[in-house]
Structure 1
Amino acid sequence: MSSSELFINFLTQRGVLTSKRRAELESVIVKQQGINIVELLVRGGFVSSEDLARWEAEFFNLELCHLKNPVSETALSLLPFEIARDCGAICFSASGRFLKIALVYPDTENMAKLRAWSREKQLELEYAICSLADYEKQLNFYLVKEPVTRKSETKKDEVGEIEDKTWEQMPIDKVVAVVLREAVTQKATEILLSKEKDRVWIRFRLRENLIPVVNLPLDLFVPILNYLKGLAHLPLSIKNNFLQGEIQLQINNQAQTFDLKVLESVDKEVLSIKPRISESAHLNFDQLGFSNYTRNMIEESLTRKTGKIVVVGLGGSGKTTTLHALVNKLSGFDNHIVTVEKNIENSLPGVTRIQVKPEIGLSYERIVPEVQRWQPDCLVVDEMVGGESSAHLLHSALSGTPIMTTVEGESIVQGLKQILKLDLEIYHVSAVLNLLLAQKLVRRVCSHCAESEVVPNNISKKVLNILSAVPAEHWPRGLDYNSASLYSPRASGCSWCGHSGYSGKLALHEALLFDDRLKMELSRIQKGSELNELVERYLTINMLQDGLMKALRGLTTLDEVFSNCEEYNII
């Protein structure tokens, strides 16, 4: 019997694992072969990192050490990073040839590697147990903190000037440190690494534009890939079409979390590294660009204690950002909000968040009914995925729990049709809907180079004709139907925006607040054409009209609005 099996028996005897939870764990072990037992227990939610370390110390009869503070660089550097990463070990104290090593899990293979290394270096090792959380924190300190000088120092715009020979002579941890530090300094929102022909290209996403920063010798790609996988605790030997994890590092003496994604395409692997948005960097409700009319509808729907708010949009349209902004507006000590999400990539203070992990049995179908029994003040699910989970959501809304979620679609009509495709009865859907908010993103004109120009007469007539259905009180200030001429920005282009004329994104919205009359009419709908007519009658401002008004306010161009709203009837 292996040490892992004996340890699982020990946890069962101590009451840490019930028979049901043990069966779930054994199922996970079969699916995730090759993954450390500690990682499966902690990341699967079977036991906390600190509690597991205490049980390990008792089981292996070793001292439990707490590594909350950074270990001295002198001690840390005595154990090579590759061994620390592969064996789950940290050197936290040293006296002459005697080293104290903290282990996450002292299995036979890891102990054999450490013994072989210590014999080679003529060192004596004393072992202790540490938690997985403490180990990961200390492992990240292997990344060099000090700024490096010209053969090693990088200031802004100098990364691309380092010669191939210098890159090849740098240790891999310094190469990664240089690139990540530069990305943080330039406030890049994404770092992309990919193999292109005989070079490794590193590109930064700056103000929505992907900018090539440097290309490295091809020989560095695999070491960089494996180093980053190691920091994110991803398996090095297992190749998958898609892997993701997180890296926690000290950059410029500040803690920084990065989300790492590795995509294996037909002929290459691509790495995407995104600095995680800090709590203060979240877009709040006031920064989402809602018109006063849309804003008032949303605020009214948030005051309702029952029903469902659904955000509609295609992938990458900012649905999650909007959902989190609504959660932030609603959250506080007087509300208990629970979110169920596939990916958790930022923080929401005061909110209980549960991550979906089907591989260990935490599916939407299992989580949603369990959360429903808690009777939270609001249940937030990142997407309606259909089947049993959608039925549970509907049941929660019918029983009085406020729901917020998202669904795929380009407009309110498409969002409604998508909801009805989930095998939900229309009279049930109509009974619980509070608000449908649809959005899509267009490019925001660059404020540094945008120039105002007179809209040509034929375009001006088209714009005024489309806006004629909008009540006068919702028109941009200073504009009315009898305006002699219209003005909108032109995307000129400058160095700030990469000569594209655009910088950042702007959301276009349309919203439908459900009252009793609308709910009654919706429940009687039998054809798709009837649904289109109903929405058109009740929708005061559609997405095209919202976009045109934002263009006339100087936020984007008319061309950008028309090209992204082709599904609307443009006269």
Structure 2
Amino acid sequence: MDIEHILQQRGLVSEDQWREARAQAGGRRIDGVLVEMGLLSEEQALEAFADELGMEFIELGEFEVDTDLIGEFPTAAIFRHEVLPLDRSNGTVRVATSDPFDLEALSELSSLSGLELDPVLARHEDITDLIKANLGVGGDTITELVARTADDGVELLEEIDDLDGDLVDEAQAASVIRLVNELLIEALELNTTDVHIEPQEHGLRVRFRIDGMLRPQPVPPEINQFYTSIVTRLKIMSRLNIAERRMPQDGRIKLRIRGREIDVRVSIIPMIHGEAVVLRLLDKGRMVFDLVNVGLPEDIIKTFNELIELPHGIILVTGPTGCGKTTTLYSCLNELKSTSTKIVTVEDPVEYQTEGINQIQVHSKIGLTFAHGLRSILRHDPDVILVGEIRDGETAEAAIQAALTGHLVFSTLHTNDAATAFTRLIDMGVEPFLASSTVEGVMAQRLIRRLCSECREPYTPNEDELPSDFPRPVPEVLYRPKGCRACRDTGYSGRTGIFELLRTDEGVRDLCVERANSSRIRQHGLENGMTTLRHSGWLKVVDGVTDVDEVARITKGDIV
């Protein structure tokens, strides 16, 4: 088939353009070179080929692929030839390809599956996106990567000890190394915070936590045979005992992935169907410690800056695990960091290694607890102290003692709102007058998903359908999620914070001394201008940052 004739006959390219593209082709298909040069669109070329060959050109944007049908074809062949089975009719399977001239690929797929194929044309990117969405990471690793090297831009920054054994040999094979590396690369590209690798009764399940939500990650069924090797490879990388399969293990991996330094915290726990793995990814390059960047509104930043500039006292940030407390605290430390200020932290674990800050890792097994570390820090002449978490009365008392002796102390508590921090400290055994006289302010926070800026959908809200505590008057336009390729059809991209700041005034101190419950402290805060988490979320809805359902989901139970 004469591609030049097809394209020139339809006036899509000139002879000069064809000659220019041919000179740059270097063995590649010339129509592809023309597309790269911007002289031709892929759609134009495919429509011309479809017309000439009597084929159909289809848009795959909203196409629902038959996943059961895909399972009838070898995964590796689909990845190798980039041909996607779409649907079946009267015993014939429609398959999408972007190369109508690759008859060998169609012949191989037909032979391997034993099915009659009807090829249709579609854009290359649409096909590969759907293949990845339905077969997931590692699909091309299954049969092809054994013969390839593992040089894919992933570099282990710590040496691995020499180990022996068949299991080690298999885990160190190029294909398994490549498979694990692909998993990490894919997770990083999707801004994943946690990777869950879970053995199930009927196969392996992989899930990524993205923007706070767990999402299943498609993987080819053949990956199940690699499960033990994947776990062993991760154990080797994190210097864990590869022979131990009965007890939980925790480790850490330091990587450089395509120029970005990544810390990976590894947790392995034996389950009934095998060992489950969770990887917490910390991308140092993406960390920006700035109070504006975490989502603090201007009015709260002003008050919070006044707090962190105090010479002594305790400032607490509260909320559940994964709500961004550590990022907020490091943003505070970043504001205070200077050559004239000594900052010391005691953490479990040290999540962000930061230049200019002295950081201590807790080791409970040898007695280095938060409380012990904090007492030792006081002998190092610090100005500012960060305690990763106040977990018990001993740590709380040590933090209070540090504040009373002229130090500014930052820490976290696991409470649902700001007011409850005071009652939690008292429940730990702290005297009410000490809690009220040292804690200068408490900020509760949550993370909510941002609407995708590429596809967020404006609408006119019905006031009667909005929550009763939504600010009135209601804006004429609000936004809701829609979903597009940029956000992988979720409607959301990234997260931002919502906040509730309670500053300790005389009223709060009096209530603490009275041992008042958190509801009374909270009510006092509201009467004196405190913005609740939920109201902070509504303001983000009004600004078009997020939507009503997202705020309602995150702030359940926060209605006053």
State the TM-score bracket (shorter-chain normalisation): 0.5 to 0.7
- 2:4 is aligned to none
Q: 2:451 aligns with which of 445, 460, 463?
A: 445
* C-alpha distance in structure 1 between counterparts of 2:319 and 2:443, whole Å: 9
Q: Is structure 2 residue 550 aligned with structure 1 residue 560?
A: yes
1:110-147 superposed Cα distances (whole Å, 9 cap, x missing partner):
xxxxxxxxxxxxxxxxxxxxxxxxxxxxxxxxxxxxxx
Q: Equivalences for 1:197-346 in 2 at 5 Å?
A: 197-206=201-210, 210-215=215-220, 216-239=222-245, 241-252=247-258, 256-279=262-285, 281-346=287-352
2:425 aligned counterpart, secondary structure: helix
Q: Is structure 2 residue 379 aligned with structure 1 residue 373?
A: yes
| TM-aligned CA deviation for residue 208 of structure 1 | 5.1
* C-alpha distance in structure 2 between counterparts of 1:566 and 1:176, whole Å: 38
- 1:475 is aligned to none
Q: 1:194 aligns with which of 195, 198, 201?
A: 198
* C-alpha distance in structure 2 between counterparts of 1:187 and 1:441, whole Å: 15
| TM-aligned CA deviation for residue 272 of structure 1 | 2.3
* C-alpha distance in structure 2 between counterparts of 1:252 and 1:303, whole Å: 39
Of the structure 1 ranges 492-501 and 435-444, higher mean CA displacement relative to structure 2 is found in 492-501
Q: Equivalences for 1:143-542 in 2 at 5 Å?
A: 157=132, 159-162=137-140, 164-166=142-144, 170-184=174-188, 187-206=191-210, 210-215=215-220, 216-239=222-245, 241-252=247-258, 256-279=262-285, 281-459=287-465, 462-463=468-469, 467=471, 483=473, 485-515=475-505, 517-518=506-507, 520-528=509-517, 530-542=520-532
Q: Is the 2:201–2:273 Cα contact (8 Å) retained in structure 1?
A: no
- Identical columns (%): 22
1:194–1:485: structure 2 CA closer, same or farther, 3 Å change rule? closer
* C-alpha distance in structure 2 between counterparts of 1:543 and 1:300, whole Å: 20
* C-alpha distance in structure 2 between counterparts of 1:231 and 1:545, whole Å: 45
* C-alpha distance in structure 2 between counterparts of 1:569 and 1:345, whole Å: 33
2:525 aligned counterpart, secondary structure: helix
1:331–1:199: structure 2 CA closer, same or farther, 3 Å change rule? same
1:290-338 superposed Cα distances (whole Å, 9 cap, x missing partner):
1111111110011110111000112222212211211122212121111
| TM-aligned CA deviation for residue 430 of structure 1 | 0.9
Q: Is the 2:449–2:550 Cα contact (8 Å) retained in structure 1?
A: yes
Q: Is the 1:382–1:406 Cα contact (8 Å) retained in structure 2?
A: yes
1:565–1:275: structure 2 CA closer, same or farther, 3 Å change rule? closer
1:397 aligned counterpart, secondary structure: helix
1:456–1:174: structure 2 CA closer, same or farther, 3 Å change rule? closer
* C-alpha distance in structure 2 between counterparts of 1:489 and 1:254, whole Å: 34
- 2:73 is aligned to none
| TM-aligned CA deviation for residue 250 of structure 1 | 4.7
1:244 aligned counterpart, secondary structure: strand
- 1:44 is aligned to none
1:435-460 superposed Cα distances (whole Å, 9 cap, x missing partner):
11111222222222111222213256
1:287 aligned counterpart, secondary structure: coil
1:161-217 superposed Cα distances (whole Å, 9 cap, x missing partner):
426433677543333334334444555444332323443344445555535142343
Structure 1: segments with no counterpart, 5+ residues: 1-149, 468-480
Of the structure 1 ranges 436-445 and 181-190, higher mean CA displacement relative to structure 2 is found in 181-190
Output the amino acid matched with 1:305: P
* C-alpha distance in structure 2 between counterparts of 1:530 and 1:182, whole Å: 48
| TM-aligned CA deviation for residue 405 of structure 1 | 0.4
Structure 2: segments with no counterpart, 5+ residues: 1-78, 81-127, 148-173
Q: Is the 1:439–1:507 Cα contact (8 Å) retained in structure 2?
A: yes
Output the amino acid matched with 2:539: M
- 2:121 is aligned to none
1:159–1:314: structure 2 CA closer, same or farther, 3 Å change rule? closer
Output the amino acid matched with 1:174: R
Q: 1:545 aligns with which of 535, 542, 553?
A: 535
1:283–1:447: structure 2 CA closer, same or farther, 3 Å change rule? farther
Q: Equivalences for 1:57-76 in 2 at 5 Å?
A: none
Q: Is the 1:241–1:265 Cα contact (8 Å) retained in structure 2?
A: no
- 1:97 is aligned to none
* C-alpha distance in structure 1 between counterparts of 2:433 and 2:356, whole Å: 35
1:563–1:195: structure 2 CA closer, same or farther, 3 Å change rule? closer
| TM-aligned CA deviation for residue 263 of structure 1 | 2.6
1:19-43 superposed Cα distances (whole Å, 9 cap, x missing partner):
xxxxxxxxxxxxxxxxxxxxxxxxx
Q: Is the 2:463–2:474 Cα contact (8 Å) retained in structure 1?
A: no
Output the amino acid matched with 1:176: V
| TM-aligned CA deviation for residue 275 of structure 1 | 3.6
1:383 aligned counterpart, secondary structure: coil
1:163–1:250: structure 2 CA closer, same or farther, 3 Å change rule? closer
Q: Is the 2:247–2:270 Cα contact (8 Å) retained in structure 1?
A: yes
Output the amino acid matched with 1:374: H
State the TM-score, normalizing by the size of structure 2. 0.65
Q: Is the 1:445–1:503 Cα contact (8 Å) retained in structure 2?
A: yes
| TM-aligned CA deviation for residue 523 of structure 1 | 4.4
1:298–1:233: structure 2 CA closer, same or farther, 3 Å change rule? same
Of the structure 1 ranges 418-427 and 519-528, higher mean CA displacement relative to structure 2 is found in 519-528
Please provide the CA RMSD for this pair: 3.0
* C-alpha distance in structure 1 between counterparts of 2:446 and 2:412, whole Å: 13
1:507–1:194: structure 2 CA closer, same or farther, 3 Å change rule? same
1:427 aligned counterpart, secondary structure: helix
Q: Is the 1:160–1:213 Cα contact (8 Å) retained in structure 2?
A: no
2:399 aligned counterpart, secondary structure: helix
* C-alpha distance in structure 1 between counterparts of 2:431 and 2:197, whole Å: 47
1:254–1:436: structure 2 CA closer, same or farther, 3 Å change rule? closer
1:210-234 superposed Cα distances (whole Å, 9 cap, x missing partner):
3514234333111221122112111
* C-alpha distance in structure 2 between counterparts of 1:451 and 1:386, whole Å: 47
1:397–1:457: structure 2 CA closer, same or farther, 3 Å change rule? same
1:452-503 superposed Cα distances (whole Å, 9 cap, x missing partner):
2222132569456xx4xxxxxxxxxxxxx6x574422112222333333222
1:419 aligned counterpart, secondary structure: helix
Output the amino acid matched with 2:265: D
Greater relative contact order (Cα 8 A, min sep 6): structure 1 or 2?
1
